[in-house]
């Protein structure tokens, strides 16, 4: 069975997380799970992270962006990773200042900002 483009992004991200020896998992969202939770959540060197993986022209939903924003506001790293930035996973998760802009389906721009503190 062929791997989907998003599955390919997840595979690369997981490869990087394993090399970094980060703790991570894929949360269950059905049943008792929470909708809109990032595809991969974990912790690296004491910092919580949430990663939403996308491929092609796919964009995050408003609920996914809300969850990423909540993670960022709580002091975690929240990011959307796709084919263009998947090889930057280690530097994104390791910290530093970064900015992510995501265009929603209606053209509205949602922004996520994270800085080390």
Tens-digit pLDDT profile for residues 78-93: 999 999 999 999 988 9
What span, in angstroms and rounded, lies between the C-alpha atoms of 20 and 37? 22
Contact 52, 76 (CB under 8 A): no
pLDDT interval class at 112 (50, 70, 90): very low
What span, in angstroms and rounded, lies between the C-alpha atoms of 1 and 87? 25
Q: Which CATH number fits domain 5-114: 3.40.190.10, 3.40.50.300, 3.40.1350.10, 1.10.10.60?
A: 3.40.1350.10
User: 64 pLDDT exceeds 90?
Assistant: yes
DSSP H or E run through 27: none
Specify the DSSP class assigned to residue 34: P
What span, in angstroms and rounded, lies between the C-alpha atoms of 34 and 115? 26
What span, in angstroms and rounded, lies between the C-alpha atoms of 68 and 49? 9
Q: Is the dihedral of CA 113, 47, 23, 96 positive or negative?
A: positive
Q: What is the pLDDT at residue 3?
A: 87
What span, in angstroms and rounded, lies between the C-alpha atoms of 54 and 81? 6
pTM given for the model = 0.80
């Amino acid at each position: 069975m062929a791997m989907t483009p998003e599955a390919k992004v997840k595979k690369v991200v997981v490869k990087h997380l394993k090399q970094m020896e980060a703790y991570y998992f894929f949360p269950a969202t059905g049943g008792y799970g929470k909708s809109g939770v990032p595809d991969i959540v974990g912790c690296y060197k004491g910092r919580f992270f949430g990663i939403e993986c996308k491929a092609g022209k796919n964009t995050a939903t408003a609920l996914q962006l809300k969850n990423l924003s909540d993670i960022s506001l709580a002091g975690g790293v929240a990011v959307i990773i796709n084919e263009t930035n998947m090889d930057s996973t280690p530097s994104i998760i390791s910290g530093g200042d970064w900015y992510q802009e995501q265009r929603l389906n209606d053209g509205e721009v949602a922004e996520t900002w994270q800085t080390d503190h």
